[in-house]
Amino acid sequence: MVVSRFAPSPTGYLHLGNARTAIFAYLFARHHRGKFILRIEDTDRERSTKEFEEMLLEDLKWLGLEWDEFYRQSERFDIYREYAQKLLDNGHAYPCFCTVEELEKEREEAEKKGIPYRYSGKCRLLSKEEVEAFKREGKPFTIRFKVPDGRVVVFEDLIKGAISIKVDDFGDFVIVRSDGSPTYNFVVVIDDALMGVTHVIRGEDHIPNTPKQILIYEALGFQVPKFAHLPVILGEDRSKLSKRHGAVSVRNYREEGYFPEALFNYLCLLGWSPPNTEREIFSKEELIELFRLEDVNSSPAVFSKEKLRWLNGVYIREVLSLDRLVEEFMPFLEREGLSAEKDYVRKVLEKTRDSFETLKEGVERLKVFFVEEVSYSQEAISLLENENSRRVLELFLHKLQERDNLSGQVVKELAKEIQKELNLKAKDVWHTLRASLTGELEGVGVDIICDVMPKEKVIKRIVRALGRF
């Protein structure tokens, strides 16, 4: 059975690169009817927090990911100690008593020679008696993995192809720190092996870790999984993705009013696309059916916030039901201190869902429907102070009061009548009406406002505008 995993560290928000890794690992497992594991890698005691863990879980659930098994590394320390002891017992690891000062001196000497630093391995040569003596003295020690000299580790990456790395490039590495806490390269092997992970899907920044992990797999007699290292995500200027490219956390996009389906869909298409189709909108079920690691591009993907905004807009306009849009819109409205009956919000969104691309933008653009009184921009004030504007509003008010109801069609008819009677251009009439109803010269169409807003509210705004000038 195929088993994949996502293993984040709770040391910060879930960023887009990690979210894409989680999605690819999830799609791969679901495509093969396999198992998807979530493992919280919280062995970094100083930086890991419960708060970040809770936010990670919330954001992954919001994206639509569900997992079959869940683990925390901090709850598995007894297991790691057992396997560290096995490596000591079988001669694949040894205690290292070198002090920080001694190691720093080695590093400085390597720098002077202009060569990459690797641990000298001098504690490899300690006799059993020397080791026991140091332990009796209470001398602190780490546990290092004994890397075989001259080995070249070769593995077939499912995305990158064949990769070979000389072990002499990194030397003996620490698997347990002096405080007893295990290191990443050690625990990830133990966990993946014991959890039956068959495919390790992760970012290409982990490629240098892979040979170290393969050596540990071999030393413990574990089956080595298949590796797939995802290419990095770049900004549109081809530099490393950062906040200036819009590469903020998943949570930030939630708070901006992006939909999880849209973000999930977009992240899937960063470095992967199903063959033989030009489509860009896919349901999660379709993506599960179509996803194959062989179709992942080995070159970096390019993130475009504008493309993501566009895709979110497509979901708002064409994909999501109106009921869902209303449900998601209401909290954003309340966050801005605004409120309205759900039926009224539904009427507003039914007419305006094509005018915004995020829920936060929607609240800003549609605020005019939910406030008691609008604020006038300087341009609107200048226009409304015009004598022709006053005449337009007075005549519109008079004609409106003669009508039983108000609609977009009615306001179009009245505008034509006013234009003809006052001998004005169409834009003079429409701009005046918009300025009085919205406080702006641009924005939501007057006909849409009159289709949705109660007649008495429209009259109240016209009267207020006339009273000001």
List, by residue number, the catalytic residues.
Answer: 243
**Alpha-carbon distances, residue 158 vs 68, 161, 402 (angstroms):** 24, 6, 74
**Cβ-proximal residues to 185 (8 Å cutoff; 6+ apart), any chain:** 173, 175, 209, 212, 213, 216
CB neighbour class for 425 (10 Å; exposed up to 12, middle 13-18, buried from 19)? exposed
The whole-angstrom separation of Cα 133 and Cα 46 is 31
Give, rounded to a whole angstrom, the gap between the first and last alpha carbons of the chain.
76
Query: Across the beta sheet with 69-72, what order do the strands follow?
Result: 3-6, 35-40, 69-72
Instruction: Collapse the DSSP code of 274 into the 3-class scheme (helix H, G, I; strand E, B; otherwise coil) and give the result.
Output: coil
Concatenating the DSSP letter of every residue in 215-243 gives HHHHHTTPPPPEEEEEPPEE-TTSSBP-G
Do you know the residue count of the chain? Answer: 469
The type of residue at 78 is D
Concatenating the DSSP letter of every residue in 383-399 gives HHTSHHHHHHHHHHHHH
**Cβ-proximal residues to 463 (8 Å cutoff; 6+ apart), any chain:** 397
HSE-CB of 155 using CA atoms within 13 angstroms: 25
The whole-angstrom separation of Cα 396 and Cα 53 is 59
